[in-house]
Structure 1
Amino acid sequence: MRYSVKSLLVAVLFLLAVPSVGLSSIMFPLEPPDTSSPRATLDSFIYYTDKLYEAASISDDDFTLEAEYLQRAEGCFDFSEIPPTLVADLSIEAVLRLREILDRIDLPDLNDVPDKNDIKSIDVVAWRMPHTEITIGRVAKGPRVGSYLFTPETVTKLAEYYDEVRELPYKQNKVDPDYCGLYEQFIYSSGWMIPDGLLSELPPWMKSGYMGQAVWQWVGLFILLVLGGLCLWIVWLINKRMKCRFESYSWAPWRLAFPLFGMALCAFLEYLIDKQINITGHVLSIVIMGLEGVFFIFFGFAIIVAGNVIMHGIIASSKIKEEALDADVIKLVVRLATFGLVFVLFYNAGSYFGVPVTAVFASAGIVGIAVALAARETLANFFGGVSIFLDRPFRAGDYIVLDSGERGEVKAVGMRSTRLLTRDNILITIPNSVITNVKITNQSMPEPHFRVRIKLGVAYGSDVDRVEALLMDQALNNELVVASPAPRVRFRAFGDSALEYELLCWAACPEDKGRVIHTLSRDIYKKFNEEGIVMPFPQRDVHLHKAE
């Protein structure tokens, strides 16, 4: 019988690895078990589990039949309320548990169980096995609607039913007298990586059961979880050192090593715990749900890290400034895509764990509306940032003058606010909802050069040709004045006390305006003094006459 258990375990692995079995069997591979009535369902389950036990007791390396019989027996259950992540494991236990229960109780005569004719004459919604709570009910919705299956309530309580009858003897007319219980042999057995000889050498107390598992299984579970946590901690330390060592790199795909390793570790631990140590029952449900939950957390973490790697890699390119709105837009787009993928991931994870995610997100939508109303100013700033991105009235590094008189360099344009650094080295933060509704003068557009005007006057009688030549020389020789566009001198008017001139030149950028005016004014004054050119200033003579 030990070989039969090993055969059954291998058949389970075969069934999980190859969902579509039956290519070499004599059965029709697509034919489901007959579940058209409670009698058909009960008869199908007993028939296929009989065949399963019979096939498992034969020394044969072909496990196709065992897998098929097991799959047909599983088709007699309604697992709609079991999380999809646990169906593959709990369905096998449900088949073996229910068979063990039926082998220990008196079964009703099949003629007393409702069949197709009874269903046609009376509306049979559910049938309960006499003197038990085991129920076969009609499926009301889903892909198997109309079929009669062992109800989800029955599936949930099978462990409780089994505990109540496990001490009862087998009915001798149903099984071999030497039969010693297939279910407990199965749950206390190991996978192919653990040889039977090793388990046989264990002391008896290690083989005894405790809370549905053998003691050696508890020890193996503890060791695996501790080793897994230790490996995860070591990889985290390595990842942390790499982060400090390669912090200056623009692209850092190695940051994905930790979450990817966590995902692989969870999958590997799940395989070892489920298929090799063969943890079963509620303990398996808790461990698998926990590992799957951690797996999805690492998966979401990997998506976020990948988004950050892509985002920083793009922003680090020479064409994009970190403080520019382009960088903020890239951050926004990448983060929206990242959180969208995380949303899809956890939506599917919720369905995978059997959580009613539709109701949860419907409630979240109502909460989102309330939050949006409370954060309308923030939303106004956000859409103001979108408007700045679309219209591009200014960029980071531009010199702008606001309608209120503030002038300075745009240091950063974010999705919520714009920061302006004045010439007094004062940082002004302006909400985007405000800055999009005021008049803005951009002194850096369409060209980055800024025009400087210096007005002056020379005395009547001065050599105007000499004056114009001196002004041009001072402009051309000034390092802060650009050569193109070329400087110009204009004779503007005959003033009351001077010939009025204006020197027009261009500074390389708006922030050089003050220095250009300072250096040119100083140099012109010195040069005019050297050349004897007088720069008159308005004056008035007052003559007092003595009254007669």
Structure 2
Amino acid sequence: MWIPFSRGCLVNRILDFYRLQETDGLYLYWLKELLVAVVIFTLFYGLSCLVRFILASVLPRLTAATNTDLDDRILERVSPPLTLFVVCTGAYYAVRYLQLPAKVQMIASGAIFVVNVIIFTNIAYRVIDEIMNWYATTLAEKGREGLDRQLIPLAEKILVIFLVGTALIITLKHFNYDVLSLVTALGIGSLAIGMAAKDTLAHVISGFTLMIDRPFRIGDRIQLSGGQMGDVADIGLRSTKIRTLDNTLLIIPNSDLCNTILLNQAFPDIRAKGRVSLGVSYGSDVELVKQLLVEIALEIQDVLRDPAPEAFFVSFGDSALNMALFFWVDDYGKLFATSDKINSLILQRFRDRGIVIPFPTRTVHMEKGE
């Protein structure tokens, strides 16, 4: 049977054959690319399983042998995001291997890169947060609650801002943004703000100095060079608040407080030394008066026996022999009440013993004129 065949038909068949070969080759190429990407992701997924096993089974045995629980707490908090970070890293390299269109690949790999930066920043934040909490607990156990309440949250906020800024700069640099101009603009802006708020910054820096140097703590009773006395209520960044003895709030800028002389009655401990000064009439038995003063002080329950109260003959006055009684109390808050009890008991016992506490008198002799 005769089949009509033309040269044009043969050419078309040959072209169709080559097109089929090109399609099959392209299909095989993409299949190879996809297979390699899957292998890369599978390897990283296996690595994440290995990391999870090490974090869950191996490292806890090592951290259990240490004296602190800080490493255990850090390990517990970073384990979940760390395994996720390894998986996302595998996804990033798998997408980067695929020969996708430039815009599609930039969007896909960029999105995974941003997720990786967020996860890594979260890991760093968890480590810092655990270290700060552990340090705050250590300070509280040492009796330095004021420092952990004031300085630790501030330091943690500064570190968080630093982490976020670093993550933002890394992300912008990945997308080929000009990071140098951004950093320069931030530096110039910070300089302008610093010049405009130099007084406030001076108070803030002084606040840091007070928190680190710690000449006083919250709750300490201090006396300023101007004579004001009160208990420290709060140590802020800009100012320190002092509750005076008449229950008013005294607010002092930190820079002024750093440059003044003050007396801390609660340092090195809260014990306080009291003094009662009085005079007895000339002719009194000084040794008896000193013995009686010590006995009176020992009758008061709040007066410490160690160190024991002491009485001294201080000086000769115009109309009296000046005596002084020194005693200690275990808390400076009891000083006024204890002094009141001692003074009241001195009046009673001196009256019973016939010891006179004189008051200034003046005798005027009038002479008759001739």
* Range class of TM-score, shorter chain: 0.5 to 0.7
The residue number in structure 2 matching 1:307 is 128
From the superposition, tell whether residues 270 and 427 of structure 1 become closer, same or farther in structure 2 (CA, over 3 Å): farther
Spell out, residue by residue over 1:383-415, the C-alpha distance to the aligned partner (whole angstroms, 9 max, x if none). Answer: 323544676544445432113332123344455
Q: Cα distance 1:265–1:541, how it changes in 2: closer, same or farther (>3 A)?
A: farther
1:286 aligns with 2:129: no
Alignment: residue pair count: 321
Aligned partners of 2:249, 2:30: CA distance in 1, in Å?
A: 70
Tell me, what secondary structure is at the counterpart of 2:259?
coil
Which of 197, 213, 221 is equivalent to 1:399? 221
Q: Which runs of 5+ in 1 are unaligned?
A: 1-168, 196-248
Q: Please list every run of 5 or more consecutive structure 2 residues that lacks an aligned counterpart in the other structure.
A: 1-11, 39-68
Shift of 1:503: 0.9
Contact 1:190–1:275 (Cα < 8 Å) also in 2: no
Give the AA of the match of 1:290: A
2:145 to 322, 330, 350: 322
Secondary structure, counterpart of 1:178 in structure 2: helix
Q: Which residue of 2 aligns with 1:297?
A: 118
Tell me, yes or no, if structure 1 residue 503 matches structure 2 residue 346. no
Distance in 1 separating the partners of 2:327 and 2:263: 20
TM-score, scaled to structure 2 = 0.68
Q: Is the 8 A contact 2:233 2:242 kept in 1?
A: yes
For 1:455 and 1:478, how far apart are their aligned partners in 2?
17
Paired residues of 1:323 and 1:411 also in contact (CA < 8 A) = no
The 2-side partners of 1:362 and 1:185 are apart by 50
Is residue 347 of structure 1 aligned with residue 169 of structure 2?
yes
Percent identity of paired positions between Structure 1 and Structure 2: 30
1:482 is aligned, of 290, 304, 322, to 304
Q: Bigger CA drift: 509-518 or 413-422?
A: 413-422
Q: Does 1:423 align with 2:245?
A: yes
Partner SS, residue 481 of structure 1: coil
The alpha-carbon deviation at position 328 of structure 1 amounts to: 5.0
Matched, 1:180 2:23: yes
RMSD value, Cα: 4.4
CA deviation string 1:488-522 (max 9, x = no partner): 21223444554332112233343332122122222
Amino acid at match of 1:355: Y
Q: Give the 5 Å matches for 1:71-220.
A: 172=15, 177-180=20-23, 182-183=25-26, 191=34
Q: Please give the per-residue CA displacement for 1:460-489, whole angstroms capped at 9, x wherever unaligned.
A: 444433321121012234333334443221
Partner of 1:80: none
Decide whether aligned partners of structure 1 residues 371 and 181 sit closer, same or farther in structure 2, where only a CA change above 3 A counts. Answer: farther
Distance 2:90 2:256 in 1: 55
Q: Which amino acid in the other structure matches residue 434 of structure 1? A: D
Letter of the structure 2 residue corresponding to residue 360 of structure 1:
L
Q: CA deviation at 1:459?
A: 4.0
Structure 1 residue 310: Cα displacement: 0.7
Per the alignment, residue 519 of structure 1 pairs with: 341
Q: Offset of 1:316 from its aligned partner?
A: 0.9
Q: Does 1:409 align with 2:231?
A: yes
Contact 2:303 2:327 in 1 (8 A): yes
User: Residues of 2 paired with 1:174 and 1:439: CA distance?
Assistant: 98
How far the C-alpha of 1:362 sits from its partner, in A, is 1.7
Whose helix proportion is higher, 1 or 2? 2
Q: Do the aligned residues in 2 keep the contact of 1:191 with 1:275 (CA within 8 Å)?
A: no
Change (3 A) 1:452 1:432: same
